[in-house]
Structure 1
Amino acid sequence: MAGLSPNDYIRAAGGRRNSASGTRVAMSPPSGPGVMAWTSYDMDSPVLRDFLREGPESVTGVGVSEKMALRNSTFFRAVNLIAASMGMLPAHLMRRKPDGTIEKAKDRKLYRVLLKRPNSYQTAFEFKSYMQTLALLDGNAYGLILRDPRREVLQIIPLPRKVITPKLSDDWKLTFEYRRPKGGTVTLQQEEVFHFRHPMTRDGLIGVNLVDIALNAIGIASQAERAAGKLLSGGVMAGGALESDETLGEEAIARLKQSMADQNMGVENAGAWLVLEEGLKAKPFIASAKDSQFDELRRRQAEEISRITGVPRPLLMFDETSWGSGIEALGLFFVTYCLMPWFVAWEQAIERSCLTIAEQDADELYVKFNEGALLRGSLKDQAEFFAKALGQAPYRTPNEVRGAFDMNPISGGENLPPSPSAPANAKKEPKDE
């Protein structure tokens, strides 16, 4: 199919024979006006209510849509952090050599697709970030795989959202039903579709999406934000009241207002106290238990989103404690308990979709994310690490250390440095008296 556009490729897929079974793949209907099926609902139908609502209903009675979820700052921060982190990490196609050593499989076109150019309009960062975002929001991300006559991968083109349905036949053969935007469906074979999904799934085919899992947390947080908005727009924001046992005249009230405006308003007078007259008593307002519970509710929902996404609290920017020297441990926690499952999901999804069955069985090619880019630490930590790697029992070559800092190799630096000789501790023989 080399030379065909993605749309031509999909159209051609509709009339291709299945080489495994000898049967023809399901044809899409001809272009042009088709027959439309209408379904009627009663006005009180729950199906109609869900259709007209922005999204599924939360416990607050408010529909939660994807747009509402992304407007939640905690949820947006978590999704953006995971997607950007996965997008920035390089993915390499590696090869195990017969002698047990490994190397980058630069002779394969898939190597360039993963590292530099997945398709004609996206960089590797944009492609991985976008597909990761879809896996978080939809639970699944799909891409059309274009191959050359030798079955090597040329491009992976993201397919439109929510138009792909995985189908598992009675004989356990996986296909994908693609609903074209202009009408009709095309059945794509497993080797033609890159399917990346959330590690958690209810049926083994379709991943769960975070908007659905965080439905109630986002709904409650949205209502709390709405209540805060109403308080700021129409609520009374007075800090206290002035009381008096006597009746104040208009002149005294006017003089008091002017005194407050001249001496007690503005940021420069914040926290200043009034000099009262006419028997006035100051009665400051304090936050009520209801206000404290309201603030606690908003914090609780942020913590719920942190649990659902797996992103540590400090990285979501709502922890009040100082990170201090624990920043490296925090990064390790994020990589180990949040990103590591996604590394494995990416690596195995690429191998399953992009490598042929023979290549998978040969166990020669594999995909590896370089998560070490997120764990480099400070220059001081790196210096100590590499000093030990080159020290008493060396396990890194000088060129490997230089490569970690993007420095050119040196002559003779491909060999491990010699171990330092042990200090002489031999005892002298006692002399005969």
Structure 2
Amino acid sequence: MKLWPFKRAEKRNTDPSWSALVNGGAASASGQFVDAKPAESIAAVFGCVQALSESTACLPLHVYQRQDNGERLRADDHPLARVLRQPNPHQSGLTFREEMTASMLLHGNAFARIETNRAGELMGLHPIHPRNVTINRLPSGRYAYDYTNDDGQVVRLLEGEILHLRDRAEPGSVVGKSRIAIARDTLGMGLSLREHGAATFRNGARLSGVLQTPHVLDDASATRIGESWRSQFGGPSNIGKTAVLENGLTYQQLAMSLEDAQWIAAQQFTTEEVCRIYRVPPTMVSDLRFGSYQNTAELGSQFVRYSLARWIAMWESEITRQLLGSIGRRRYLAEHSVEGLLRGNPEARADFYGKAIKDGWMTTEEVRRLENLPALPKAEQQPEVPDDEQAE
């Protein structure tokens, strides 16, 4: 007998790479628990993430309309342009893109709920933390995004209702691979080195050792001597004190010193490894051991060409693909103004503009517009007077 009309729950085919990567972190080979939060506490990781996210967000991002003659015009009044300038009431375009880029660098994915009006026009973008999102493949082959809102309710969004930006994914998957998860053992070693150094300095920069005596000590004497030793020589304030040992006691160090363990060299190696993970020149995170006045400028150019290029191109292509309809993609596109990277170098900026005007692919008015300068007044053209007439 049928007691209750139970409804069969919808079958979910969760992307397997999602559960493998977004699992709240895991223990590394060194025993350290590694996820985005402790990994970002490593100075090199924080520096690389900030260098990429800040530089990408600071670039001007404009919407252009393609013309029939092959040219294009700025479409600042387009709904997409307005949303890119201010995605939601709580964020500017810069803070939104910085947050989303950092999310990709730390979690492999970044999500934002797309807000539209009744006419289907884009009205806003609202970021969602990646850990609150689960991706499910529907029987139709499309993907659904289930996220938990602030009220604890699970809300389902379909493709077209969410902006999904991602790092590199496995073939056949839509989930970006977290660089933190991929490099978990490397980052775990960095966390272990930091913990080791902190514990060493907390104990007065003295590694563990033993106090030896030829005499037999009872429990009370051993406890008294141990407490006396820690109170006199433990902690940073007691560094350098001279130990006075009684009753034939001798001290023997058991572990290697920081110099023997090459702790500082290991810390520097961690910085290099993190820079490899994010493809950032070490000079961008203030590691100037191999930097010089001659190669710093070239390393900065490599940062733009090889480090930023991927994220700039990804933003442009995904904005066009996900935020513009099939008809809109034929007439509009989003593109960064990479010249914004020259703002901090007036000499390079002047040289760039000078060559552009000289070669004829930019005009003075276009340069002044990029520099936020007013247009030059249109002076009347005075006919040139020949030299022989001036002599008369």
Instruction: Identify the TM-score tier after normalising by the shorter chain.
Output: 0.7 to 0.9
**How large is the RMSD of aligned CA atoms in angstroms?**
2.8
For residues 327 and 208 of structure 1, the distance between their equivalents in structure 2, rounded to whole angstroms, comes to 31
The number of residue pairs the alignment matches comes to 313
Q: Does 1:334 align with 2:303?
A: yes
CA shift for structure 1 position 346: 1.0
1:59 to 29, 36, 58: 29
Q: Does 1:395 align with 2:361?
A: yes
**Residue 199 of structure 1 contacts residue 341 of structure 1 at CA under 8 Å; is this kept in 2?**
no
**Residue 190 of structure 2 contacts residue 267 of structure 2 at CA under 8 Å; is this kept in 1?**
yes
Secondary structure of the corresponding residue to residue 32 of structure 2: coil
Q: Does 1:144 align with 2:117?
A: no
CA shift for structure 1 position 113: 1.0
Q: TM-score, normalised by structure 1?
A: 0.66
Identical-residue share of aligned pairs (%): 26
Q: Does 1:122 align with 2:88?
A: no
1:32 corresponds to: none
2:264 corresponds to: 295
1:72 corresponds to: 42
Gaps (5+ residues) in structure 1? Answer: 1-25, 28-49, 239-286, 414-433
Q: Name the CA shift for 1:231/1:142 in 2 (closer, same or farther; >3 Å).
A: same
Secondary structure of the corresponding residue to residue 162 of structure 1: helix
For residues 337 and 120 of structure 1, the distance between their equivalents in structure 2, rounded to whole angstroms, comes to 34
2:353 to 383, 386, 389: 386
For residues 56 and 345 of structure 2, the distance between their equivalents in structure 1, rounded to whole angstroms, comes to 21
Query: Within 5 A, what are the aligned runs for 1:9-408?
Result: 55-114=25-84, 116-201=85-170, 203-235=172-204, 291=260, 293-360=262-329, 363-376=330-343, 378-391=345-358, 393-408=359-374
For residues 384 and 296 of structure 1, the distance between their equivalents in structure 2, rounded to whole angstroms, comes to 41
Gaps (5+ residues) in structure 2? Answer: 1-8, 11-21, 208-255, 380-392
**Residue 199 of structure 1 contacts residue 342 of structure 1 at CA under 8 Å; is this kept in 2?**
no
For residues 119 and 382 of structure 1, the distance between their equivalents in structure 2, rounded to whole angstroms, comes to 33
For residues 182 and 203 of structure 1, the distance between their equivalents in structure 2, rounded to whole angstroms, comes to 33
Structure 1 or 2, whichever has the larger Rg, is 1
CA shift for structure 1 position 151: 1.6
CA shift for structure 1 position 180: 4.0
**Residue 95 of structure 1 contacts residue 103 of structure 1 at CA under 8 Å; is this kept in 2?**
yes
**Residue 331 of structure 1 contacts residue 374 of structure 1 at CA under 8 Å; is this kept in 2?**
no
Q: TM-score, normalised by structure 2?
A: 0.72
Superposed CA offset, 1:74-113 (max 9, x none)? 1111111111112212211111111111111123111111
Code of the aligned partner of 1:369: H
**Residue 133 of structure 2 contacts residue 147 of structure 2 at CA under 8 Å; is this kept in 1?**
yes
Superposed CA offset, 1:233-274 (max 9, x none)? 325669xxxxxxxxxxxxxxxxxxxxxxxxxxxxxxxxxxxx
Q: Name the CA shift for 1:182/1:373 in 2 (closer, same or farther; >3 Å).
A: same
